[in-house]
Chain A
Amino acid sequence: MKLILAFLCTLLTVPAFAQTALPPAPWADRQIPDPAQERKAKALMETIRCLTCQSQSIADSGASMAGDMRSQIRERIMAGEQPEAIRSWLIARYGDWVSYEPTAAPILWPLWAAPILLLGLGLLLLRGRIKRRARS
């Protein structure tokens, strides 16, 4: 099914390529010479959602818009910006949806509390069980 999403993505991008005579963004598919910076940029790109494909990160997407965003991220990293600052800038521009990394917004608190709650609940059940059994 992932394949189908990717397919839709290519369908959506083909006309875009046909219409724009603009050259692709300079750093879309070009790595930053400094490997440490490239690693940072790559790590960020993997957590930013492609706006055209919806189910891929911009690191993986072939859409032209994703290329533009990659280029933006690389340029900003080279200019010395911190990845989290770039993420905030992208979120301010495109909304929370663009970041695969859930933010600390209150609407997402239950999401972060879920593992602790589930594990706690499970352990509690388990503890009750074994104790009761040990006594009997």
Chain B
Amino acid sequence: MIAEAGLAALWFAAALALLQLVLAFAGLKGGKPELLGAVRPAAVAQGMLTAIAFVALITLFMRSDMSVLLVATNSHSMKPWLYKFAGTWGNHEGSMLLWVTVMGVAGAAVALFERALKRDAHMATLGGQAAISLGFYAFLLFSSNPFARIAEPPADGQGLNPLLQDPGLAFHPPTLYLGYVGLSVAFSFAIGALLTRQVDAAFARAMRPWVLAAWVLLTLGITAGSYWAYYELGWGGWWFWDPVENASLMPWLAATALLHSVTVLATRDALRAWTVMLAVVAFSMSMVGTFLVRSGILTSVHAFAVDPERGSFILALLAIYIGGALALFGWRIGSVREGAPFELVSRETMLVVNNLLLTVILGLVLIGTLYPLMTEAFGHKVSVGAPYFDRIAGPIALALMVVMVAGPVTRWRRDQGQAVGKRLLVPLGIAVVVSAALAIAAWGRIGILPFLGLVIALAVGVGSLAPLWKRKLLRTPLFTYGMVVAHLGCAVSLAGMACDSAFTVEKLVAARPGDVIQTAGWSIRFRQIAPIAGDNWTALQADMDASRGGSSVLIRPQSRFFASPPTTTSEAALLTRWDGQLYVVLGEEVEGGRWQLRIWWKPFVTLIWLGGIMIALGGALALIGRERRGWLLKWRARSAEA
């Protein structure tokens, strides 16, 4: 019953999306403005119906209803409840349902809360949102039905991939999807603005909170995913330039550029066409990412053929939406008046350079990710991985960090080059001192990128505080704090990355109980190894005492065995200290009762994710700051009327 209700809700939601699109079109173009009154209710109802469908699927997973195909193939009744719950989106159909739910709910939010847009632009935006949703409803209903039943239910399900059985699954995919799909709102805004020919500062101010919110969630989602992979996979890495990671990075890069250009448009009414373009590109990157991940094309061009129907379906959606949006852009952008002019030395130029560098990195990540697919089509298999991306995107990212310090201390409209230089003297001095100290202390032992990374991180870290210099801290607007915190977060994250690649100490050792291992100032005593059992796994667990001079701490790396599906995973033991993390992995048993251990001491590695959280927090502060100012102004206007 629940499955059928969920499916019905989904069909009704799709029908409402169609209705919403037709009403908006007829209202705006067909000369029937009275129809527009029904667009917002349709969007809200559609959002509620998708939410109902999603809750229905969660309920089926929580109840372990094995008569539903998706539950039977992806769940197991013995799983802890958290993974039954989160397992809802740990598979293709469920994650696509999450996608349309986020899209539907975001559309409802735009219908309910958007007040800054003019009415016709608002309606066109909702029409655009309905048009995108329709394609994904079709995809879900025709080729990925999550509610399909099976005639003869099995006794129990096949279980969830053990690597996914982690609290990370409850947090990472939903956050990432909120960000991914949240960008669809920016896309719809751009469509609406193009259709109604209203690309101006007011449009930018209306769009900015939605972009900020999506960007904050995307940042959190990527940060969480990186940390999850870091502790779960047991190889101590936090980013691998894996195509799937790139698929999440590309929308983030586009959204980051959009976030900055939308500010130029809102403040100075410049970069009109470019901002609209970025809004289109950002969500297009979300869709490209989904296509890459969902079609299976990533592992090999040939994997695409495993499920050609789904792959072709998403490819067709991509072609229709991206192609359509670009065509609309080409058709209408001529009528968008060019924005306000600006001088060479100005905040605007700095932000344009920011956009240029971010876009170039985005282009390179896209090319690098797709390149192996293209050469494989010509019969030549190559790999493009970390060495390429580090070497190519790394220097550009470092240049971007330098612009990040200079931008906020440069004035809008027009500034003096010398004056800007003067304001940057302190970070510049720090850069010189740090490079000298590092050169003396570690010359030849660390690579050029980590070296530059450390220097720039410290200089930028201090430089990012410059906008607060000599200001009355209590009267500084919240969004300025947001910018400072986010930029400082970039420096903190960069410092963590540079420290990790420059100073990590790795030790591989085969040890037997009783042995003491010395590495990087730590002394680790291997006490014993014993079997233990969890809800749906058994494990071998090593007890070790780790100490660094003072008292010792018990750490317990495990090698876990899951019965359904049969898999072994290693649960690394992480010991976090203020100056880094000790990371211990228990491997296989080798000859003579000894166990293979991998031990890392990673100085300041946690800064990577702390920085990520700071960036997201900065975005949240900016969002609250801007919105609060809007509320205050409105409230004042209202009380002045009364």
Contact = CB atoms under 8 A, between A and B. Distances in A.
B349 interface: yes
B164 interface: yes
Interface in B158-178: 161-164
B179 to A, nearest CB: 16
A136 B339 CA distance: 13
B383 A56 contact: no
A56 B235 contact: yes
B385 A49 contact: yes
B161 A29 contact: no
Interface stretch (B110-118, B197-205, B317-325, B357-365): B357-365
Interface string B375-402: 1001011111111100010001000000
Given A14-B566, A115-B360, A123-B356, A3 B510 contact: no
A97 B381 contact: yes
B9 to A, nearest CB: 28
Given A47-B386, A97-B383, A122 B359 contact: yes
Give the interface SS of chain B, mostly helix, strand, loop or mixed: mixed
B242 A57 contact: no
Interface stretch (B65-73, B340-348, B452-460, B491-499): B340-348
Interface residues of A, number: 53
A29 B242 contact: no
B384 A10 contact: no
Contacts of A130: 342, 344, 349
B383 A5 contact: no
B637 to A, nearest CB: 36
Contacts of A56: 235, 240
Contacts of B164: 3-4, 7
Given A1-B244, A96-B383, A111-B384, A118 B363 contact: yes
A106 B486 CA distance: 42
A47 B387 contact: yes
Contacts of B566: 14
A24 B343 contact: no
B387 A100 contact: yes
Contacts of A114: 363-364, 367, 392
B360 A5 contact: no
A133 to B, nearest CB: 4
Nearest to A100: B385
B37 interface: no
Contacts of B228: 3
B581 interface: no
